[in-house]
């Protein structure tokens, strides 16, 4: 059981920063921040969960069944992540590529302390065992400051896992699969990394969030492992009997010149290659949602709409379905995972080819982070535009990718990857 207390806050932006600074004392921290981005499916402006009471950590074997049992037993808020490699739990697949980060395949925890922000109200939801700490925590939060956070003085030397010529060769091999009819589309990703590197995760997250302002920003800490995410993409959400998926496919750079910027957005909206990418994934998501949907309830609410973020223009579609009460929420995720926007079509064939051509185990990249509520609702983002850090190994990593279709030009795909990587590189090398 949880004790709930509402507190009016003067400045939500300042309060979020204070919350994050205060939260650094805990081993388990999740901040989910919408950066005031509001659409019809928004519930909170930000959510902070800290201090695990119970937790679940596992490899991919029977991972979804274990998560289902944990979620059913807990009957409470749980926060955590699903790595891309949980695909091996669903299909006869494997992940044998290099892994410099070492994140567990699945991790969720039940927070003792939960703070939900909406407008100028912060709702404190504490487990009863710690509810006597709400007042003292509120005082400590209001006194928190990032003034004492040391900036990283060591320059980070970023290296590509796949060099440019090798990237072209691999994309051409993927195009050969497409022309042969093995697949229609696949998301091909590459890692950029730094070894023997020390960063200040809070400082890096703040800089990344500041220059991107995405709707699904995440600061995630589990002991010595960090996810610092500026994701613009929702993977999947359940609210009552409605399920919402919002895949992104199609990217264009921004321009400081207003007319040029508008032209870039219009070009993206009308680009046949980008639209075909998006529509293929919409079809895949419709099929995935149909596994748990009530008959005839899968709908495309929005197709190929261009949204503008600080770093890029993105083409987003919204697909929804209805589910009956007897469908377990974890089964909705299992039957749609990994998300179509980060795999390809047909999904299983695409994932096999991806594994063969990529050099790095994806791990948390192109997985999902989010939460389940006590009412069996959930909301998860797609882990892209994200920096991953293993503090013990001193290993820093970010990955970027693009969708390869029959109309792909390897040079343009490479350039798209660099556009997506721009914010992460700037933050780490500044």
Select from 199, 238, 236 the least CA-distant residue to 221: 199
- State how far the Cα of 167 lies from the Cα of 144, in Å rounded to an integer: 46
- State how far the Cα of 320 lies from the Cα of 328, in Å rounded to an integer: 17
Residue 139 has pLDDT above 80, yes or no: yes
Residue 251 · residue 314 · CB < 8 Å: yes
Give tens-digit pLDDT for 100-128.
999 999 999 999 999 999 999 999 999 99
The CA angle 232-236-237, to the nearest 5 degrees, is 110
pTM of the predicted protein model:
0.96
Find where tokens 């013990």 sit: 392
> If pLDDT is split at 50, 70 and 90, which confidence band does 153 have?
low
Q: Is 118 an active-site residue?
A: no
Give 253's strand partners: 312
Query: DSSP H helical segments within 271-380, as ranges?
Result: 272-290, 329-334, 347-357
Cα distances (angstroms) measured from residue 333 to each of 104, 181, 341, 356? 18, 28, 14, 25
Q: Which residue has the higher pLDDT, 62 or 144?
A: 62
Residue 146 has pLDDT above 70, yes or no: no
Q: What is the structure's pLDDT at 150?
A: 57
Catalytic residue among 249, 322, 352, 361: 249
Parallel, antiparallel, or unpaired for β 234-239 and 299-308? Answer: unpaired
Q: What is the structure's pLDDT at 428?
A: 95
Which percentage of the chain shows pLDDT scores above 90? 94
**Can you give the residue range of the structural domain that contains 373?**
2-144+152-429
Q: Say how far residue 65 (Cα) sits from the centre of its chain.
A: 22
Find where tokens 């500026």 sit: 230
Q: What is the structure's pLDDT at 426?
A: 94
The CA angle 43-47-53, to the nearest 5 degrees, is 125
Select from 87, 174, 76 the least CA-distant residue to 126: 76
Catalytic residue among 16, 185, 221, 233: 233
Q: What is the structure's pLDDT at 345?
A: 94
CA-derived radius of gyration, the chain: 21
Q: What is the structure's pLDDT at 155?
A: 76
Give tens-digit pLDDT for 382-411.
999 999 999 999 999 999 999 999 999 999
- State how far the Cα of 210 lies from the Cα of 256, in Å rounded to an integer: 17
Cα distances (angstroms) measured from residue 279 to each of 25, 314, 368, 416? 45, 14, 22, 19
Give residue 411's region: left, alpha or beta (phi > 0; psi -120 to 50): alpha
Residue 430 has pLDDT above 80, yes or no: no
Structure tokens at 31: 């901040």
Give tens-digit pLDDT for 236-282.
999 999 999 999 999 999 999 999 999 999 999 999 999 999 999 99
DSSP symbols for 29-77: EEEEE-TT---TT---SEEEEEEEEEEEEE-STTHHHHHHHHHHHH-S-
> If pLDDT is split at 50, 70 and 90, which confidence band does 149 have?
low
- State how far the Cα of 74 lies from the Cα of 224, in Å rounded to an integer: 25
Q: What is the structure's pLDDT at 102?
A: 97
Backbone angles phi, psi at 287, to 5 degrees: -65, -45
What CATH number should be reported for the domain holding residue 339? 3.60.120.10
Q: Is 96 an active-site residue?
A: no
The beta strands (E) that lie in 346-394 are given as 368-372, 378-381, 386-390
Select from 280, 220, 165, 251 the least CA-distant residue to 30: 220
Residue 147 has pLDDT above 60, yes or no: no
> If pLDDT is split at 50, 70 and 90, which confidence band does 38 have?
confident
Listed in sequence order, the residues at least 6 apart from 310 whose beta carbon sits closer than 8 Å to its beta carbon are 211, 212, 213, 254
The total domain count for the chain is: 1
What does pLDDT average to over the chain?
A: 95
Q: What is the structure's pLDDT at 229?
A: 98
Q: What is the structure's pLDDT at 152?
A: 59
- State how far the Cα of 5 lies from the Cα of 22, in Å rounded to an integer: 18
């Amino acid at each position: 059981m949880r004790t709930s207390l509402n507190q009016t806050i003067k400045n939500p932006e300042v309060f979020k920063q204070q919350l994050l600074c205060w939260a650094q004392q805990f081993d388990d921290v999740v901040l989910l921040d919408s950066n005031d981005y509001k659409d019809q499916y928004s519930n909170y402006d930000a959510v902070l969960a800290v201090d695990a009471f119970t937790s679940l950590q596992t490899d991919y074997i029977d991972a979804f069944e274990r998560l289902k049992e944990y979620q059913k037993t807990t009957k409470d808020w749980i926060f955590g992540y699903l790595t891309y490699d949980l695909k091996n739990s669903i299909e006869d697949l494997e992940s044998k590529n290099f892994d410099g980060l070492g994140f567990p395949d699945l991790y969720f925890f039940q927070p003792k302390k939960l703070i939900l922000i909406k407008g100028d109200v912060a709702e404190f939801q504490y487990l009863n065992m710690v509810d006597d700490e709400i007042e003292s925590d509120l005082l400590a939060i209001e006194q928190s400051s990032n003034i004492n956070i040391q900036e990283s003085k060591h320059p980070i030397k970023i290296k590509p896992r796949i060099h440019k010529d090798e990237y072209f060769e691999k994309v051409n091999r993927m195009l050969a699969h497409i022309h042969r009819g093995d697949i229609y589309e696949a998301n091909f990703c590459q890692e950029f990394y730094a070894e023997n590197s020390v960063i200040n995760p809070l400082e890096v997250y703040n800089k990344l969030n500041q220059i991107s302002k995405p709707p699904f920003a995440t600061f995630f800490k589990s002991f010595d492992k960090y996810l610092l995410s500026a994701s613009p993409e929702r993977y999947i959400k359940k609210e009552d009997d409605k399920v919402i998926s919002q895949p992104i496919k199609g990217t264009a750079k921004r321009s400081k010149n207003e007319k040029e910027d508008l032209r870039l957005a219009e070009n993206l909206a009308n680009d046949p290659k980008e639209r075909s990418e998006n529509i293929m994934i919409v079809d895949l998501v419709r099929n995935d949602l149909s596994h748990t949907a009530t008959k005839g309830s899968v709908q495309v609410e929005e197709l190929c709409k261009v949204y503008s973020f600080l770093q890029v223009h993105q083409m987003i579609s919204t697909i929804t379905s209805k589910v009956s009460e007897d469908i377990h929420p974890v089964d909705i995720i299992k039957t749609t995972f990994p998300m179509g926007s980060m795999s390809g079509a047909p999904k299983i064939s695409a994932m096999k080819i991806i594994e063969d051509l990529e050099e790095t185990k994806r791990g948390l990249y192109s997985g999902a982070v989010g939460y389940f509520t006590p009412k069996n609702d959930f909301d998860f983002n797609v882990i892209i535009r994200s920096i991953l850090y293993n503090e013990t190994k001193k290993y820093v990593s970010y990955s970027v990718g693009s969708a390869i279709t029959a109309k792909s030009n390897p040079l343009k795909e490479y350039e798209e990857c660099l556009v997506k990587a721009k914010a992460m590189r700037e933050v780490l090398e500044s």
